[in-house]
Structure 1
Amino acid sequence: MAHPNCDPVFSGRYIDVRILIYGINYAPELTGIGKYTGEMATFFAAAGDDVEVITAPPYYPHWEIKEGYDRGFHTETVDGVTVHRCPLYVPKEVTGMRRILHEFSFVLSSMRYWIPRYFRSYDQIICVSPPFHLGFPALIHKWFRGTRVLYHIQDLQVDAARDLGIIKQQWLLRLLERAEKWLLHRVDTVSTISQGMLLKVTKKSIPADDIVLFPNWVDGDLVFPVTRAQSARSTWNIPPNDRLILYAGNLGEKQGLENVIELADRMRQVPNLQFLIIGEGGAKARLVADAQRRKLPNLTFKPLQPLSQLAATLAAADVHLVLQKKAAADLVMPSKLTNILAVGGHALITAEQGTTLYEQVKDNHLGTLVAPEDLDALETGLRKILSGQRANDSSGALTFAAEHLDKRNILFGFRQILTLNTKQHNSWNSHHS
């Protein structure tokens, strides 16, 4: 087996990269951006790279600092990665303005670690967005020391704030849009997680050659096909003949989760049918209150399950709900879908025709598609799946996951891009020094 640092692009030479990663979310957060950033950093460190991270203490998706984590400044080593933690304001109730304060508090406190790093050399700085403005401290390093900056977009935050009505002040939206455009034109490379998001970035006048597709992945050691008997159904005391409709993920405002409550209400008379919502997020309290008001006997909420139980959790479901509001089309890529595909689950997905998500699901038989924010369509789609009429819709799930979502292949390919950029950058500097 080749040495992990042996890259065929460089004729067998070992190329280790000194990387600084800047992001508000990081391991041990179990879901969302922090999970992927943590796994990326750990992969780079295992490959021999010198990796530092500037981040916050874990708080997502509960929106409270994880028990056992210092609220002040501290540095720790996690899986070979040097992690610098910065305090930040975490609102109990997440609103547009409070989220802005939350994010800016992190940028301000993180300068405690940025300032000394302006006097150190790195080959690459990777900024993970959102928050979108994390690129600004990195640009200072680029101006001082010529460091390459890669700006990785997990969510198109400014577009989502506008299209979903999260921020309604037009002057503020214009300011954020101008700031984002200014930033994107000054970093060296932009990466993002889906073709639809890539196309939206090109519409911001970013040259296609400066954009890299870096999709989220599936960890095959954690997520894999599990039989119904091995699933979490027995742990949850779900009768073998009951059918389980599962939504597992972030309980935020982009998903339109009020439709799950309404759907359970409409189908409360269907025998042996249960709805289960697993997750945390800013909309959870509102959803729980709505469900309690309706006194739904067929709907249950559960907290996030341990990662070690992820495969068993997903395998318990007969149908997985992957919901997004219409305005979120191609602004975010539902990362939960990757795990559903990896266990061979049948996903009921809301997506508009013409979006990348719609075309990818349709072309590869990844699930059943219905129009977003259309409760009648959602109910019809669910009933057809339960009756067996749409069994073929998800026939390509396992194959697609194996061919396109493998964690090691995606991270290895991304590291090749980083090492190639580093070599070219160092060669240019040597030639012009």
Structure 2
Amino acid sequence: MRILIYGINYSPELTGIGKYTGEMGEWLAGNKQEVDVITAMPYYPEWAVHASHKRKGWHTEYIDGVRVHRCPLYVPTRVTSLKRILHEFSFVVSSLWYWLRVFFGKRYDVVICISPPFHLGLIPAIYSRLRKVPFWCHIQDLQIDMAKDLGMITNRTFLNTMFKVESYILKRCSAISTISEGMLQKVKLKNGAGSKCVLFPNWVDSTHIKPVPKPHSMRAELGLLDSDRVILYSGSLGEKQGLEIIIAAAQSFAQQPDIKFLIVGSGGGKTKLEATVREYGLTNVVFHPLQPYEKLSALLGTADIHLVLQKKSASDLVLPSKLTGILAAGGCALVSAVPGTTLYDVVHRHEMGILIEPESAQALEVAIEQALSMDLSPYHTNARWYAETYLNKETTLNKFIGELRKITGEPRPLPLLVDL
């Protein structure tokens, strides 16, 4: 198949949507598909264009067998709702340089749009209609719902306009996929079952990310002792996680020097968190940048307890991608989730983490204290089993390419006949 992927985030971004889209492109190319990508300069989660791509304009590069067309865009140093809107629209406009060639160039067998930003689907929808090409929309976050529920956008007229644009896009898809059952049900309601809806969860390479004993973890490199009890948050430091409660919890353990809070990552909320730590004079909270993928197992092995936090209003609108790595590493996570949501139900059913009330520093403090005094080995075992059973990368992507073949009409490859 000739596949075009359109999204604002792509490899070499280490976390979030870019990580998964990059791995998907690499896997498709490795399975003999011709893959082109139209994307932005890498900037996430630091919200700064990576040094490798600074001062570059439109250009094409090859990553793991994929032809990647890069577009410049506006990246704000301080992310606000308005600046984020400008940031996303700057990419849409910038990407027209390549889309004009696509409209009048070769015909792809399918175009895959990665959302958010939700409005990226407008151009693929038009291309799909004019060139009679199947259009697949993959939704990683329900962006408008989240912006509304988190109070990031309050103008009702603007919200209604965005929902109408989203509806226009979804009704013109050949297929829509998303990453959790809860999100899938919401998409079906938005779509009115007009397009095929598919569950396409985030995956993990459990052969690469696996349990690592403390002596082989990053404890020594990060200045930690084997006797330290480490609470780790690793990932994007943004608005939807509600990370302020980590600092509040750290205050309650300030008199226990062996309990360390490790915050690893970047994002729009990092500066505020660092300022709060300085204001309170906390020495038990340490910040580190994101680590390379090859060090991820060692980083995750550093923790006694992992934190997977999000706000109540983000429940079932996002499924934290960081959880997949924690499960593959056999970690025990404290997960903030509301009963009845996909995240809560999955963690509870498989007993692979400790559930806590979202946005409650007191609930987090109590859970940390209890977890540090418990035998966590059942959680370690269940987490690793779940990752190997349900989040297998090869299985997930094989199902995905099978669905792609259905909407493109491409026959499945015949099995090889071997003379015995």
TM-score range, shorter chain: over 0.9
State the SS of the aligned residue for 1:21: strand
Conserved 8 A contact 1:365-1:394: no
Could you tell me which residue of structure 2 aligns to residue 381 of structure 1? 367
Unmatched runs of 5 consecutive residues or more in structure 2: 412-420
Which residue of 299, 305, 316 maps to 1:330?
316
Conserved 8 A contact 1:158-1:173: yes
Could you tell me which residue of structure 2 aligns to residue 105 of structure 1? 90
State the shift of 1:68 in Å.
2.1
State the shift of 1:239 in Å.
1.3
Residues paired across the two proteins, number: 410
Conserved 8 A contact 1:365-1:395: no
Conserved 8 A contact 1:42-1:79: yes
Output the CA distance in 1 between the equivalents of 2:255 and 2:279.
Answer: 17
Pairwise mapping of residues 300-339 of structure 1 onto structure 2 (< 5 A)?
300-339=286-325
Q: CA RMSD in A?
A: 1.5
Identity fraction in percent: 49
- After superposition, the C-alpha distances for 1:317-372 in whole angstroms (9 at most, x for unaligned) are 00000000000000111000000000100000000101010000000111000111
Which residue of 195, 202, 214 maps to 1:228?
214
- After superposition, the C-alpha distances for 1:68-111 in whole angstroms (9 at most, x for unaligned) are 21531001111111110011100111000100000000001101
Could you tell me which residue of structure 2 aligns to residue 24 of structure 1? 8
Which residue of 175, 178, 182 maps to 1:196?
182
Output the CA distance in 1 between the equivalents of 2:377 and 2:399.
Answer: 34
State the shift of 1:237 in Å.
2.2
State the SS of the aligned residue for 1:396: helix
For 1:49, give the aligned amino acid.
Q
Which residue of 265, 269, 272 maps to 2:258?
272
State the shift of 1:416 in Å.
1.0
Change (3 A) 1:361 1:208: farther
Could you tell me which residue of structure 2 aligns to residue 7 of structure 1? none
State the shift of 1:393 in Å.
4.5
Output the CA distance in 2 between the equivalents of 1:207 and 1:233.
Answer: 50
- Return structure 1 stretches of 4+ with deviation > 4 angstroms: none
State the shift of 1:380 in Å.
1.0
State the SS of the aligned residue for 1:376: helix
Q: Does 1:423 align with 2:384?
A: no
State the SS of the aligned residue for 2:52: coil
For 1:111, give the aligned amino acid.
L
Output the CA distance in 1 between the equivalents of 2:149 and 2:376.
Answer: 32
Query: Normalising by the residue count of structure 1, what TM-score does the alignment of the two structures yield?
Result: 0.92
Output the CA distance in 1 between the equivalents of 2:181 and 2:264.
Answer: 28
For 2:322, give the aligned amino acid.
K
- After superposition, the C-alpha distances for 1:128-148 in whole angstroms (9 at most, x for unaligned) are 000001111101111211100
Could you tell me which residue of structure 2 aligns to residue 214 of structure 1? 200
- After superposition, the C-alpha distances for 1:28-59 in whole angstroms (9 at most, x for unaligned) are 00111011101101111111111100000101
Output the CA distance in 2 between the equivalents of 1:394 and 1:169.
Answer: 45
State the SS of the aligned residue for 2:14: coil
Could you tell me which residue of structure 2 aligns to residue 161 of structure 1? 147
Pairwise mapping of residues 5-404 of structure 1 onto structure 2 (< 5 A)?
17-69=1-53, 70-119=55-104, 120-207=106-193, 210-388=196-374, 392-404=378-390
Output the CA distance in 1 between the equivalents of 2:213 and 2:381.
Answer: 17
Q: Does 1:409 align with 2:395?
A: yes
Deviates more, 1:373-382 or 1:349-358: 373-382
Conserved 8 A contact 1:347-1:394: no
State the SS of the aligned residue for 1:58: coil
